Amino acid sequence: MEKYTKHTNVAALMNRANVDTDQIIAKQFLKKVERTGFGQHLFHDWCYLEDGTPNPKFELNNPAFDGARVLVVGDNFGCGSSREHAPWAIEDYGFNTIISTSYADIFYNNCFKNGILPIVVDAPTLKALMTEIEENPGVAFTVDLENQAVTTPKGTQVAFEIDGFRKTNLLSGLDDIGLTLKHTDKISEYETTHKERFPWLWAS
């Protein structure tokens, strides 16, 4: 998992509430266990017309949002099933930050495990951020995880809360596997001792 660093990038607006994980990544694309390759299917049913061509009315197909890393969305984002493929698709598409008033608990937790920062703001703040994007599509927001702040070109500064453990893991680029690998010496020590005490468990 890549380290999360301070960045200034285009903020894309998708003003929709209750976007569930089946809309984020539809079930027909859940055929792999690797984390890569899902970005092309993000919001597939909205992104493409029946003939497979891009839907010009879908928000993220706006050329002004090309290369966006910040996704600003409506309430209750990531609801529905617990599929981890949803944050995989979001990350693979290019987003590393989501801003909303609320998230489904499982989706929220999965974001941190996949290098995505889900920021929670209040309703007036979300409305102000959405308005700024609507008035200037392609506007770039600065996200500073170290200082827990989002800054916009208008000078709006949004402070956000985040659990200290999760913050450290994002800044260090540590997912669950990375955290485990920090203790390889202790794991090796345990395995050695275990083999000596219970050799029959290790017999081939």
Given this model, what pLDDT does residue 31 score? 81
Architecture per CATH, domain 7-173, reads as Alpha-Beta Barrel (3.20)
Q: Which of 4, 42, 33 is nearest to 170 (CA)?
A: 4
Q: pLDDT exceeding 90 applies to what percent of the chain? A: 75
Q: What is the pLDDT of residues 115-134, one digit of tens each?
A: 999 999 999 999 999 999 99
What is the DSSP code string of 72-85?
EE-SSBTBSS--TH
Given this model, what pLDDT does residue 189 score? 59
pTM, two decimals, is 0.87
Where exactly does CATH 3.20.19.10 map onto the chain? 7-173
Given this model, what pLDDT does residue 60 score? 97
pLDDT grade for 203, boundaries at 50, 70 and 90: low
d(CA 113, CA 97): 13
Q: Which of 38, 35, 19, 16 is nearest to 27 (CA)?
A: 38
Q: What is the pLDDT of residues 78-101, one digit of tens each?
A: 999 888 999 999 999 999 999 999
Tokens for 104, please give them: 């489904």
Residue 167 pLDDT exceeds 60: yes
CA distances from 63 to 23, 48, 71, 89, 95 (A): 21, 15, 15, 20, 16
CB neighbourhood size of 72 (10 A)? 23
